Amino acid sequence: MSTTKAVRNAIVARLATINGAAGGYTYNLSGTDQALSGKYSRPPGSASAPFACCWTVSVEESPGPPLPDKSQLGTFMVLGWVRASAKHPSARQDAAEDLLDDIRTALRADPRLGGLVIDMRASGAPFEDERDQTPDQATWGVCAVSIAASWRER
């Protein structure tokens, strides 16, 4: 398995450790199909809320002198959806911020992803899904998290 795929899978595994109040989190992503690999534009029909997905955006090699091991920098994206408690912007914002905090907390709990990476940084933002602004549709809070992870490989 490629290192890139192993890192992405480790991020998805970290997302699946978000287990609600039992683990000190607001939400629970530990159920079947709640944290998946791949780029989803909406939670799949099999997923229950909340839902998060992770995909690889890019991997680059750092320039420098020829060495046996090269520094790699991978950028991964996590997109998360959660149902808001009410159908108004502040409820969507609150739900998205709570899910964002849960995701960043889970990633900070293992910043080396089981030894796969040297360093990892996560930054994110909550936002509202414009498709859910009409009163008769589901109300989702959405957050996006960009993860920069570095490792060395031959």
Task: Tell me the per-residue pLDDT of 115-145, one tens digit each, with 9 for 90 and over.
Answer: 999 999 999 999 866 665 555 555 788 999 9
| Domain extent at residue 70 | 3-153
Give the pLDDT confidence of 25-48 residue by residue, as tens digits.
999 999 988 999 999 988 887 666
> What's the farthest any 2 CA atoms get from each other in the chain?
59
DSSP secondary structure code for residue 48 in this structure: P
Number of domains in the chain: 1
Integer Cα distance of 43 and 117 in angstroms: 28
| pTM (two decimals) | 0.90
3-class SS of residue 28: strand
Contacts of 138 (CB under 8 A, 6+ apart): 83, 132
Determine the Cα angle at 123 with ends 120 and 124, to 5°. 140
Q: Is-contact 142 127, C-beta < 8 A?
A: yes
**C-alpha distances in angstroms, 78 versus 8, 11, 40, 68, 124?**
10, 9, 10, 32, 9
Which CATH number covers residue 51?
A: 3.30.70.1700
**pLDDT > 90: percent of the chain:** 65
The candidate with the shortest Cα–Cα distance to 82, out of 43, 38, 56, 50, is 50
Mean pLDDT of 96-113: 96
Determine the Cα angle at 128 with ends 123 and 130, to 5°. 135
pLDDT attached to residue 125: 94
Integer Cα distance of 117 and 119 in angstroms: 6
